[in-house]
Amino acid sequence: MEPPYANEAFIAPNSLAFVDGGTHFVAGSAGRIAVFDVTRQAGPEMYHNLKAKAGATGMRDTSRIMALSVSSDGLLAAGSTNRNVGLFGNSGRGACETTFSVAGRMSKVTATRGSGITSLAWTPDGRYLLVAERQSDGVHVYDVRNLLRRVSFLSGRNAKTTQRLGIDVIAMREGCEVWAGGVDGVVRMWRNPGSKDGEHVPDTGIKMHDDAVPSAVWHPSGALLATCSGQRLFAKVDLGDDESSSDTDSESLSENEQSTIRQPNNTLKIWDFTPVGSEVVEGPAV
């Protein structure tokens, strides 16, 4: 097999996902998906060049692969900033089985205008694929048996931002739950995605932070939830016309300007949901 890289260019990964119980991981970059063996100190053992001409079911995409997720059956889903999704067998080592775009036909009720896939997740049974985009208030739900039709749309995520806000799925006794944070600091939950056609509003929401929540991840036991918050903030400085005061303005902000600037809330929290739900650890995000 030819070496995957014919030059010394640095290729930055935009997404990572462990597969096969942690013995391998998959990296997505601009127009490329590579599979690595954690026991080898070398390059990828195989890769998919998405910039090459694709066949009837192949995936051709020159944009960045921003999201990866593998199902319980070893089906790897890869999502790009061009709003395309490709499915690869054998945890990413197999050929591309199918590809589709989330920019397909949508009903007026659940129409959404996202600008690129940022997060993917499978339901525990491997039946439904969840697709989240930037600048989109919801999550697409696709049935793996018919990827040309979107089953439902999890609305009300409050994620109209270019920041990457992830989603997580936790198995429950009666199905599963999808959890996702919003720019308002609220983490919302949708129960059993795919059980409703069309729009699926949140089943509950909890105010957990005072800033955007890019990640809310459950421990497999379902007892602990880890959330983090924060976003990039810019100081708004009013540059006056008076040249004599320009030096002073550039050195420091006035008291009024400092009071109007929102303080960042960059925190990492661990929440205990057994039995009543109480916060047990709080500290600054690393």
pTM assigned to the model: 0.81
pLDDT band of residue 241 (cuts 50, 70, 90) is low
More confident position, 202 or 222? 202
- Least confident among 46-60, 104-118, 193-207, 246-260: 246-260
Alpha helices by DSSP H, listed for 104-157, are none
CATH code: domain 15-208 is 2.130.10.10
Buried b (16+ CB within 10 A) or exposed e, 264-285: ebebbbebeeeeeeeeeeeeee
Instruction: Find residue 129's DSSP bridge partners.
Output: 122, 142
- Least confident among 92-106, 184-198, 266-280: 266-280
Between CA 180 and CA 118 the distance in angstroms is 12
Domain segments of the chain as ranges: 15-208
- Least confident among 8-12, 55-59, 202-206: 55-59
Between CA 19 and CA 255 the distance in angstroms is 52
Between CA 131 and CA 159 the distance in angstroms is 13
For the residues 106-127, what does the mean pLDDT come to? 79
- What is the pLDDT, as a whole number, of residue 41? 85
pLDDT more than 70, % of the chain: 77
Alpha carbons within 13 A on the beta-carbon side of 46: 9
